[in-house]
A and B are shown apart, each in its own frame.
Chain A
Amino acid sequence: MKKLLQIGVMLVIMLAFSVPMLMAGAQAERTVEATNPTGNPWTDGQDLSGTEVILFGAYVDEDAARFRTAMEPFIEQTGIDVVYEGSGDFEALITVRAEGGDPPDIAVFPQPGLMTDLFNQGHVIDLRDWMSENDLRDSYDESWIDMSRHADGAIMGAWYRTSVKSLVWYPPAVFEEEGYEIPTTWDELLALSDQMVADGYTPWSIAMESGGATGWVGTDWIEDIMLRIHPPEVYDAWVAGDLRFDSPEVREAFEYLEEIWMNDDYVLGGAGSILTVPFGDGANPLVMSPPRALLHRQASFITAFLPDGTEVGPDGDINFFYLPQIKPELGDPVLVAGDIMSAMRDRPEVRAVMRYLATGESTRGWLEQGGFVAPHADVPLDWYPAEDRPYAEIVQNADVVRFDASDLMPGAVGTGSFWTGMVDFVSGDSLDDVLPAIDASWPR
């Protein structure tokens, strides 16, 4: 009996203690002050200090901290507090929040397919209401603006970060020791692979496992090859669904892939291990001593997965070269992925933040800290730290830039049957089964 009373008293105390914290929370609110809140190019001469803009995206931890640093100059000059919330479950949550009437002011979409879905449902605001396309052309190349355009002409967002996918990683020490040359054509790449096999090495580490998303590593390869064997128009038709998967053009790409992937001499652990190794571990065999594989094709973000202390660069433990061209007449195409900022609520301070994000200046705080490539054309190369400049050069020197096709295709294909099709293909299913199955799943 006494015990019950004690528990009761404890509860009352606990509740009484927590009620005042209901709205306040355990974290002190910070105050933002701007000395001259109208003297900036973003607020249209309005004093918007004291307002708050909430961004929601998939950057967490270090990335989130770096993004916040990049927002500091804006906060100081305008007095608008830019609050960033991040979650690894962004894709699922943004849909719930939009449907539940609680969208953030600005969403940072890691893939444009989802953004297009939410735009179609009326949750994303057309940027043309806020700024002219000419304003955007000051900071983006035409190909990037095209990639943010909806089929009906609307601009759905402003690109903020890009990662370069067309990279091949290698251990420079071994290359120097064996006298290997960096290949500049596909044939040289295959010749180099053969040479490595002859020298007793395993050339390729290919790792595809990614939980429910297993398959995207394969789609990236196919996309890279598509860009190298066909003109960009063919790629665009394929993304739009006008060119079927079961076509000679796409088949040809799979045949190039097969040449490397299905060769048990080329692939570490044989073709059978491609599906079982987590993609994040894909580059690790290159930095082991002795290296267990010498080549790994993966986007620039793979450096984040390398063991702590691994040095990247020509004199480091691992370095990269541009995935070579196949047909010289097509030049050097680059496959990219990236994050795009979309406005979901209309307030003057949200417009101001969007104007800021659409300029290269908004990326400076992050790219100076490394691990960041900006899609903005008004970012000078010398803002980058030395180790990131090669990526930026690849993007800026590209003859053709195209976005990851699987992110642009309808979800049922891009994050569905294209992925599972790659898995089936690697498991040994024939192209005659795999490709028509992908076509059949395309919502038409």
Chain B
Amino acid sequence: MSDTTVKKPYVKPSAVAGETKSRALIAGIPARAFILAIVVIWTIPTLGLLVSSFRTQIAIAETGWWHGLINFTDFSQWTIANYERVLFADDMANAFFNSLLITIPSTVIPITMAAFAAYAIAWMIFPGRKILFVIIVGLLIVPLQMALIPVLRVYTRHGINGTYLGMWLAHTGFGLPLATYMLYGYISSIPKSILESAHADGATPWMMFTRLVLPLSIPAIASFSIFQFLWVWNDLLVALVFFGTRRPIVTTRLAELVGSRGQSWHVLTAGAFITMVVPLIIFFSLQRYFVRGMMAGSVKG
């Protein structure tokens, strides 16, 4: 089966006359202005953080970040010391490496498992699958904080506390319900006729899964990868409980930089932008799938 049979040709609504087009443009101005206003408001905190991250500790303490923009030419306030402090902190390179080592498997494992599970629940007929699905969806509302102590007890008994394996398992467990639910919504919306014809051609469930369902679900898988990656990358709580601080990861190292009494919070401004880099790379490389995937599960067949 080639890709072209799967993809539907995308027709641009370009057959509209030029006149109606310009009229539509004028009618759209208030909406566009509104969207622009929201975008600006939404971006202001990030802008403030960005400006602050280049200002000295004294400047941050004395005046708001907008003073930095108003008196832009006052160069005594500008500095890259915050970035230096974070980038060249002890163990920062190690922390990035360890964070990746935790985040990548913690993204891949739950998605793989969730894809299998979603396919099985959506398309394979076995007793109890409805109940199984209800249980999985029910687990969505269990806050992970509730599981910390019981899971830690199990980990301590088996000696996987503070290991990478423990982190992968924890994030897999915490991520699976949502992943399964989202992928189920998407996979169950695949037209029945496609799978039936494949079945008629003699395809096994495994072949249908790997050759049909997986390629068709790439948008959903990609968008959930972004969610899960961001969640694991930015996680501090699970890391503190199950991984400890003996081996640094980005979030725990950054939390340490702030100091015992939070006195160096100004380095967080720079830290925020530095840690943002990796998720941004992930986001932009998967972005073309993201918008399509946002509708994952919204329309069910």
Bound Cα distance A59, B150 (Å): 27
Q: B136 in the interface, Cβ–Cβ < 8 Å?
A: no
B206 to chain A, nearest CB (A): 14
Specify the chain B residue showing the minimal Cβ separation from A27: B247
Q: Pick from A63, A86, A100, A101: contact of B148, CB below 8 A.
A: A100
29 A-B interface contacts by CB (under 8 A) = A1-B3, A1-B211, A1-B215, A4-B214, A14-B108, A25-B246, A25-B247, A26-B98, A26-B247, A27-B246, A64-B256, A83-B246, A86-B256, A86-B260, A87-B256, A88-B255, A88-B256, A88-B262, A89-B240, A93-B240, A93-B241, A96-B241, A99-B149, A100-B151, A100-B155, A100-B241, A101-B157, A102-B155, A308-B58
Contact A15 B164, CB 8 Å, known A86-B245, A96-B241:
no
Give the contact-size bracket for chain A: 35 or more
Bound Cα distance A96, B98 (Å): 23
- Report yes or no: A102 in contact with B260, Cβ–Cβ below 8 A: no
- Report yes or no: A280 in contact with B149, Cβ–Cβ below 8 A: no
Specify the chain A residue showing the minimal Cβ separation from B214: A4
Q: Name 5 extra pairs, CB < 8 A, besides A25-B246, A26-B94.
A: A1-B3, A4-B215, A88-B258, A99-B149, A100-B241
Specify the chain B residue showing the minimal Cβ separation from A64: B256
- Report yes or no: B256 in contact with A100, Cβ–Cβ below 8 A: no
Q: B67 in the interface, Cβ–Cβ < 8 Å?
A: no
**Interfacial chain B residues near A304, Cβ < 8 Å:** 259-261, 263
Q: B284 in the interface, Cβ–Cβ < 8 Å?
A: no
Q: B165 in the interface, Cβ–Cβ < 8 Å?
A: yes
- What are the 8 A-B residue pairs with the smallest beta carbon separation, nearest first? A100-B152, A60-B256, A101-B156, A304-B263, A307-B58, A102-B156, A305-B263, A63-B260
Give the contact-size bracket for chain B: 35 or more
Contact A61 B152, CB 8 Å, known A22-B164, A307-B61:
no
Contact A100 B153, CB 8 Å, known A27-B247, A61-B260, A304-B259:
yes
- Report yes or no: B245 in contact with A59, Cβ–Cβ below 8 A: no
- Report yes or no: A26 in contact with B101, Cβ–Cβ below 8 A: yes
- Report yes or no: B152 in contact with A96, Cβ–Cβ below 8 A: yes
A15 to chain B, nearest CB (A): 6
Residue among A1, A23, A100, A280 with most chain B CB within 10 A: A100
Q: B205 in the interface, Cβ–Cβ < 8 Å?
A: no
Bound Cα distance A58, B262 (Å): 11
**Interfacial chain A residues near B66, Cβ < 8 Å:** none
Bound Cα distance A89, B254 (Å): 13
Bound Cα distance A11, B148 (Å): 28
Q: Pick from B61, B155, B156, B256: contact of A61, CB below 8 A.
A: B256
Contact A101 B262, CB 8 Å, known A15-B105, A18-B105:
no
B249 to chain A, nearest CB (A): 10
Bound Cα distance A64, B211 (Å): 54
Bound Cα distance A288, B61 (Å): 11
Q: B234 in the interface, Cβ–Cβ < 8 Å?
A: no
Q: B298 in the interface, Cβ–Cβ < 8 Å?
A: no
Q: A85 in the interface, Cβ–Cβ < 8 Å?
A: yes
Q: B279 in the interface, Cβ–Cβ < 8 Å?
A: no
Contact A14 B105, CB 8 Å, known A88-B255, A288-B62:
yes
- Report yes or no: A21 in contact with B62, Cβ–Cβ below 8 A: no
**Interfacial chain B residues near A1, Cβ < 8 Å:** 3, 211, 215
A54 to chain B, nearest CB (A): 8
**Interfacial chain A residues near B244, Cβ < 8 Å:** 85
One digit per residue, 1 when the CB lies within 8 angstroms of any chain B CB and 0 when it does not, for chain A 287-318 equals: 01000000000000100110110000000000
Interface residues of B: mostly helix, strand, loop or mixed? helix
Contact A22 B163, CB 8 Å, known A280-B261, A280-B263:
yes
Bound Cα distance A284, B58 (Å): 9
**Interfacial chain A residues near B260, Cβ < 8 Å:** 58-61, 63, 86, 88, 304
Q: A252 in the interface, Cβ–Cβ < 8 Å?
A: no
**Interfacial chain A residues near B157, Cβ < 8 Å:** 101
**Interfacial chain A residues near B275, Cβ < 8 Å:** none
Specify the chain A residue showing the minimal Cβ separation from B255: A88
One digit per residue, 1 when the CB lies within 8 angstroms of any chain A CB and 0 when it does not, for chain B 280-294 equals: 000000000000000
Specify the chain A residue showing the minimal Cβ separation from B112: A11
One digit per residue, 1 when the CB lies within 8 angstroms of any chain A CB and 0 when it does not, for chain B 111-125 equals: 010000000000000
Q: Quick one: which of B126-177 are within 8 Å of A by CB?
A: 148-153, 155-157, 161, 163-165
- Report yes or no: A27 in contact with B262, Cβ–Cβ below 8 A: no
Q: A128 in the interface, Cβ–Cβ < 8 Å?
A: no
- Report yes or no: B259 in contact with A62, Cβ–Cβ below 8 A: yes
A132 to chain B, nearest CB (A): 33
Q: B49 in the interface, Cβ–Cβ < 8 Å?
A: no
**Interfacial chain B residues near A93, Cβ < 8 Å:** 240-241
A125 to chain B, nearest CB (A): 18
Q: B257 in the interface, Cβ–Cβ < 8 Å?
A: yes
One digit per residue, 1 when the CB lies within 8 angstroms of any chain B CB and 0 when it does not, for chain A 71-111 equals: 00000000000010111110001001101111000000000
Residue among A59, A89, A284 with most chain B CB within 10 A: A89
B24 to chain A, nearest CB (A): 38
**Interfacial chain B residues near A4, Cβ < 8 Å:** 210, 214-215
**Interfacial chain B residues near A194, Cβ < 8 Å:** none
Contact A61 B259, CB 8 Å, known A100-B148, A102-B155:
yes
Q: B230 in the interface, Cβ–Cβ < 8 Å?
A: no
Q: B97 in the interface, Cβ–Cβ < 8 Å?
A: yes
Q: Pick from B101, B245, B258: contact of A85, CB below 8 A.
A: B245
A28 to chain B, nearest CB (A): 10
Bound Cα distance A335, B183 (Å): 59
Q: A281 in the interface, Cβ–Cβ < 8 Å?
A: yes
Q: B104 in the interface, Cβ–Cβ < 8 Å?
A: yes
Contact A100 B156, CB 8 Å, known A83-B246, A85-B246:
yes
Q: B52 in the interface, Cβ–Cβ < 8 Å?
A: no
One digit per residue, 1 when the CB lies within 8 angstroms of any chain B CB and 0 when it does not, for chain A 1-32 equals: 10010000001001100100111011100000
**Interfacial chain B residues near A23, Cβ < 8 Å:** 163
Q: Pick from A62, A63, A101, A280: contact of B152, CB below 8 A.
A: A101
Bound Cα distance A305, B259 (Å): 10
A279 to chain B, nearest CB (A): 9
